[in-house]
Amino acid sequence: MIKATYKKYTLNFKNPSGTSRGILRTKETWFIILNKDDKIGIGETGLFRGLSIDDVKNYEEKLKWVCHHMHLGLEKLLLEMTQFPSIQFGLEQAFLSLNSKTSYHLFPSEFTQGKSSIPINGLVWMGDKAFMKAQIKEKLKAGFTCIKMKIGAIDFSTEIDLLKSIRKEFSSKEIELRVDANGAFHPNEALEKLEILSKLDLHSIEQPIKQGQIEEMANLCAKTPLSIALDEELIGVFSSKDKERVIKTIKPQYIILKPSLIGGFVGSKEWIKLAEQNNCGWWITSALESNIGLNAIAQFTFTLKSNLPQGLGTGSLFTNNFKSPLTVKNGTLQYSLNKNWNFNLHI
């Protein structure tokens, strides 16, 4: 018999982090904790306020319901939680964790054995020019060969100047540059801005216009001189039929998969299958989870054998994250066998 509980936990940012949606100072998250005999399973339901489709008033009620209905089993619970993708993700992790040897090795591989690593992009947060430039220098010094810069919150010409300054020092062969607009561009101006950005030899731009404008996004993807990656566009698309419609209508160059926001591993695999059937690239991105969720996403990502840099966070943004073996070295995420887990919710 599985006993289930849930706990809320607030992650505190070391530095306020800027996005086009505003400044983030804290990140609320939840954990599903399973107990069976002497085993424990942990799963993070990475709710993202203002972005997750399941950011609703009865969220905690749903967590409570799930904990009271463990007898249904994982498959049925996932179906019941179709409209709560972050809870689906937490459930998948918790059951994998419960059935693993150590609670933390959800997908045993060369990654968890410390023999192999995952190339990741270095993330540059929004802020004034000096702050962003300092972050870029820091990422380059840390050995990153792929940098993702959030744009759309400060003056566009200032952002272009920043990107130009990187390109003056580093060619696209040395540093791959990705930008993320988080839907900041207006459809009427987007193509013109993409033309300007394309001259800087960028890899791609994430979500140039707000999600839900499918015809406008399809038009952009057809005309763009710069590869477009869908991100928020995948949130809240539940059925296989609707997922297929998004991919076939928009025809994006890439899609970006955030397991917390699109239904965990099962949801991610469904999107990947559709992408590959429609000549569309993809990569996985974390969404400000703690090291518990990040660990699950990283281990899952490694099994997919992608050769693109992934958008996996480093766990270093928060003052009160959980100690873990996840380590960033030379622009890669690694699982260090010299470090131990310390999952303590101060219960």
Region of poorest pLDDT, from 10-14, 16-20, 130-134, 215-219 = 16-20
Q: What angle do CA 207, 209, 212 make, to 5 degrees?
A: 90
pLDDT tops 70 at residue 23: yes
The per-residue pLDDT for range 284-333, each reduced to its tens digit, is 999 999 999 999 999 999 999 999 999 998 778 899 999 999 999 999 99
Closest CA to 293 of 321, 273, 272, 266: 321
pLDDT for 65 equals 98
pLDDT for 74 equals 97
Name the CATH topology of 118-335: TIM Barrel (3.20.20)
pLDDT for 347 equals 41
pTM: 0.94
Bigger pLDDT: 87 or 50? 87
pLDDT for 20 equals 57
Region of poorest pLDDT, from 9-23, 77-91, 108-122, 251-265 = 9-23
Mean pLDDT of all residues belonging to the chain:
93
Out of 258, 269, 305, 339, the active site residue is: 258
Q: Does residue 209 contact residue 219 with C-beta atoms inside 8 Å?
A: no
> What number of helices (H) and strands (E) belong to the chain?
11, 13
Q: Which CATH superfamily is domain 3-98 in?
A: Enolase-like, N-terminal domain (3.30.390.10)
- 168 a catalytic residue: no
The per-residue pLDDT for range 42-60, each reduced to its tens digit, is 999 999 988 899 999 999 9
pLDDT tops 90 at residue 63: yes
- 258 a catalytic residue: yes
Out of 27, 62, 139, 150, the active site residue is: 150
| Helical segments of the chain, H only | 59-68, 74-80, 85-98, 129-141, 156-169, 187-198, 214-223, 240-250, 259-262, 264-277, 291-303
Same fold, 3-98 and 118-335: no
Mean pLDDT of 72-79: 97
Q: Tally Cβ neighbours within 10 Å of residue 232.
A: 18
pLDDT tops 70 at residue 346: no
Domain positions in the chain are 3-98, 118-335
The per-residue pLDDT for range 218-258, each reduced to its tens digit, is 999 999 999 999 999 999 999 999 999 999 999 999 999 99
List residues bridging with 327 in a β-sheet. 334
The per-residue pLDDT for range 146-176, each reduced to its tens digit, is 999 888 877 899 999 989 988 888 889 888 9
